[in-house]
Amino acid sequence: MTKSIAVFGTGPGVGQAVARRYGKEGYDVVLVARRREPLDLLARDLSADGITAHVITADLDRTSAVPELAERIRANVGNPTALYYGPVPTDPGFVPAVDLTPERLQDRMPITLYTLLALVREFLPAMVERRDGAILSAQGAAAVRGRPNMSGWPTVLAAQRNYLQSLAAEVSGKGVYVGMLYIGARIAGTPFDTDYQRRQAQGEPVPDLPAADPAELAEILWDMHTRRNRHETVVPTGVLDG
């Protein structure tokens, strides 16, 4: 049976790189994001490389639509062998912790946590039944350690991390792998990196962030999945020291 991966949040950066990396290994790929045009372009590129790709548009802020989304995925590839979850809110909205409000957190709960929970409940049972599956994520390293003036979305990402850590411990003996990649860098090819370079060129103050190649990040996730020798990786090494 052909293996498949559903990539939730197939935006520029890690999502697209994960689709390419898994497609290279013979996985059918389901591309999920809000906007259809970039997905169609990516699907054509993947098809040119011999990768079977399916395009599904969805707003991952709408947790109530997950059952319908799951059925659309099953209509294309059945229950996926693996899922990658890495969507980013339209406005991550980093704020100082002293300015954080309950409303700001609530706005980011669906896309960060609620929809992930609903998707795992849809697809985990089949993974456990066949004793083979993977649930993967990639997020900012601020989920691991709080930073000044970077509260808000990372606060909810920390809750996501706690959930995935618990899930990893519960399903590792059932053939299902849970892997989390935390990135303390700007990812090449993303809107954030473009804006960062523009601000830097104009002499605006910007944090000192190394650049990361999304293909290398996808390779780390693939290595974690295939080796299953660790559940978390933080890159670059030492980014959380001090």
**Annotated domain spans of the chain:** 4-235
pLDDT for position 101: 86
Q: Whole-angstrom Cα distance, residue 199 to residue 146?
A: 24
pLDDT for position 242: 53
**pLDDT, the chain, mean:** 92
Residue 202: which pLDDT band, with cuts at 50, 70 and 90? confident
Residue 175: which pLDDT band, with cuts at 50, 70 and 90? very high
Strand 133-140 to 82-85 pairing: parallel
Q: To the nearest 10°, report the CA torsion of 99, 163, 227, 173.
A: 170
Strands across the sheet containing 232-235:
53-57, 28-33, 4-8, 82-85, 133-140, 176-183, 232-235
pLDDT per position as a tens digit, 32-46: 999 999 999 999 999
pLDDT per position as a tens digit, 100-149: 888 888 888 999 999 999 999 999 999 999 999 999 999 989 899 887 77
Is 98 a residue whose pLDDT tops 80?
Answer: yes
CATH class of 4-235: alpha beta
pTM for the full predicted model: 0.93
Q: Whole-angstrom Cα distance, residue 161 to residue 228?
A: 18
Q: Please list the helix, strand and coil fractions of the chain in percent, rounded to the nearest 5, in that order.
A: 50, 20, 30
First vs last C-alpha separation in the chain:
48
Q: Whole-angstrom Cα distance, residue 76 to residue 53?
A: 10
pLDDT for position 196: 77
